[in-house]
Amino acid sequence: MYELCIKSHFSAAHHLRGYAGSCEEMHGHNWEIEVFVGGDHLDDTGMLIDFRELKRLVAHLMDQLDHKDLNTLEMFRTINPSSEHIARYLYRGLAASLTDPRITVRRVRVFETPSCSACYGEEGGGC
């Protein structure tokens, strides 16, 4: 199994509904993300996927979140935009945009701060 990782970031505000603490108030983060994709077979150029293409797909997802109030976005109207839910949203969004059947999303890790992160993976991608 080959595995690639790219890192990206976005800045956004959010608050956690129903949370008893300071995170219940509107606040912001400079979120960092790590996206891992994997596959067993390389293409004719010896690559799983071109890093530029993977970055382009991830950038499209980041554009939907960057400099936004996450609570106002459709995908977070009924669930809290927690790090866990953001990781799942990014995972599923990237999985839906990958068209090459050789490649699967393994996991997405979202860092709310440099020392606090949440990870989401399916199908044995682990975290």
Kindly state the tokens that stand for 35. Answer: 């996206």
For residue 39, what are the β-bridge partners?
Answer: 2
Q: Which of 42, 40, 39 is nearest to 95 (CA)?
A: 39
For residue 87, the one-letter residue type is: A
Which one of the listed residues 32, 34, 84, 112 is annotated catalytic? 112
Which one of the listed residues 41, 67, 116, 127 is annotated catalytic? 67
Which one of the listed residues 23, 34, 84, 122 is annotated catalytic? 23
48 by DSSP, 3-state: which?
coil
106-109: Cβ within 8 A, 24+ apart: 106/3, 106/36, 106/37, 106/38, 107/36, 108/33, 108/34, 108/35, 108/36, 109/33, 109/34, 109/36
Please confirm, yes or no, whether 60 is among the known catalytic residues.
no
List residues with catalytic annotation. Answer: 23, 67, 112
